[in-house]
Amino acid sequence: MKSVESIQLLLADYLSLPSHELFTRTAAAKRTLGDQVMVLGHNYQRDEVIEHADFRGDSLLLAKLAAERSERPYIVFCGVHFMAETADILSRSRQTVILPDLGAGCSMADMAAIEQVDQCWDSLAGILPVEETVTPVVYVNSAAVLKAFCGEHGGITCTSSNARAVIEWAWARREKVLFFPDEHLGRNTGNKMGVPRDQMIVWDPFQPNGGNTIEAIRKARLILWKGHCSVHQMFQPAHVDYFRKTYPDLKVIVHPECHEEVVNRADLVGSTEFIIRTVSAAPAGTAWAVGTELNLVNRLKRNQPDKRVFFLSSTVCQCATMFRIDAPHLCWAMENLAEGHVVNHIVVPDDEKAWAKIALDRMMAVS
Ligand code: 13P
Ligand code: SF4
């Protein structure tokens, strides 16, 4: 093994390499590694990264691949930290998960800390028999320790493509759901399921009792954590209105992390995989305004030249943390691996892993 110092020096060397050299060297390292490695790429990754992926997809699909493809000893995860953690939890113990840049986090995941969730649970326990009445449901966009919290308290994880089925699972067991950390995915799912407004409350972790009266908490069926995605919250109802007015036949398709006012104006709502599938299957000549991350939309535009594909807002940028995975970091991670050096190994501690796996396995059984 090379020392950490020499690995850091090597990374600096990669940062100024021209893109064609990075491409060739990454591809060569991948060939050398052969079936030792599986490169997974989330739909939001840059072109220069996703072109090296063996599989690309949404959070659920990538989690399933990590769980099923046990024969590859190394998984290089081109996505964000929580996804790499999920891959580590679901993969076999002999498999090693690598995240090419450890700075690839998720601002939404950071909006719920375990201390805050523990405090919320304790507050609820002061009002209700919490273990019998509330199921914690955590969106996979969260730290492993929160998935472990759910596993330990009879709860479950969900993704943007199975939130409804998961909430149905939870309500079949207990009368209330504590849904975190994305308020919007929870609210949009609740709206679709016809949950009355006064039965969906918001839990603000910085307020006593989440900013709610005891009566409101007792009445609630869906308790929504006050968290959001910094990318999707930028889409506004006015963006939808503009496209509807300018292109009357156009369809609007958005991710469920968008605000309900955007989702309620859209024609279709779903995960990144659903968006890609739907637009790709649409007849030639159709027009689409797409409300999700820019890399995905630009690729969709290019791959569907017989359709008119628009990005829903000119003021929204890429996901800054997904963007951290770039060609130099990927090449650096792959070449190190080809030489027998594991960099940026993602390891979830065993005690967290066991409980988190229970929550993820419950979800896999529902999906
Ligand atoms: P998907 O589940 O659609 O892949 O979404 C992941 C994500 O981070 C969206 O912001
Ligand atoms: Fe997190 Fe939003 Fe980026 Fe998805 S798009 S990884 S939720 S910040």
Task: Determine the Cα–Cα distance for residues 56 and 45; give it in Å rounded to an integer.
Answer: 9
Rounded CA separation 169/99 (Å): 32
Structure tokens at 132: 């019998």
Same domain, 118 and 219: yes
| Span 149-162, pLDDT tens digits | 999 999 999 999 99
Q: Which of 11-15, 141-145, 214-218 shows the lowest per-residue confidence on average (mean pLDDT)?
A: 11-15
Task: Name which residue sits closest to atom 3 of ligand 2, judged by CA.
Answer: 319
Q: Are residues 90 and 181 in the same domain?
A: no
The mean predicted confidence, pLDDT, of the chain is 94
Q: Which atom of ligand 2 is nearest to the CA of 257?
A: 7
Q: Among residues 228, 258, 286, which one ends one of the domains?
A: 228
Contact 366, 166 (CB under 8 A): yes
Q: Please identify, among 170, 195, 228, the residue that sits at the C-terminal boundary of a domain.
A: 228
Same domain? 252 vs 238: yes
The CATH number of the domain where 159 resides is what?
Answer: 3.40.50.10800
In a domain, residue 219? The reply is: yes
The stretch 181-185 carries a mean pLDDT of 98
- 344 exposure class (CB count in 10 Å sphere: 0-12, 13-18, 19+): buried
The model's confidence at residue 7, banded by pLDDT at 50, 70 and 90, is low
- Cβ–Cβ < 8 Å for 7, 335: no
pLDDT digits (tens, 9 = 90+) for 311-365: 999 887 789 999 999 999 999 999 999 999 999 999 999 999 999 999 999 999 9
197 alpha carbon – ligand 1 mean position (Å): 25
Does a structural domain hold residue 364? Answer: no
Q: How many domains, the chain?
A: 3
Which helix H or strand E contains 41, and what residues bound it? strand 37-42
E strand or H helix that includes residue 183:
helix 183-192
Residue 46: name the closest of 355, 365, 321, 269 by CA.
321
In a domain, 274, yes or no: yes
In a domain, 91, yes or no: yes
Which range marks the domain in which residue 53 is found?
4-104+322-347
- Ligand 1 atom with least separation from CA of 58: 4
- Which of ligand 2's atoms lies nearest the C-alpha of 82? 6
DSSP state at residue 26: H
DSSP at 252: E
Distance, in Å, from the CA atom of 15 to the CA atom of 265, rounded to the nearest integer, reads: 43
Residues 28 and 90 grouped into a single domain: yes
Q: Are residues 172 and 62 in the same domain?
A: no
- Is the shortest distance between the CB of 159 and ligand 1 below 6 Å? yes
> Best of 85, 161, 183, 272 to mutate for ligand 1, by most ligand atoms within 8 A of CB?
272
Total Cβ atoms within 10 A of residue 179 = 29
Q: Are residues 220 and 292 in the same domain?
A: no
Atom of ligand 1 nearest to the CA of 60: 2
235-278: per-residue pLDDT in tens? 999 999 999 999 999 999 999 999 999 999 999 999 999 999 99
> Given 228, 263, 298, which residue is the final one in a domain?
228
Residue with CA nearest ligand 2 atom 6: 106
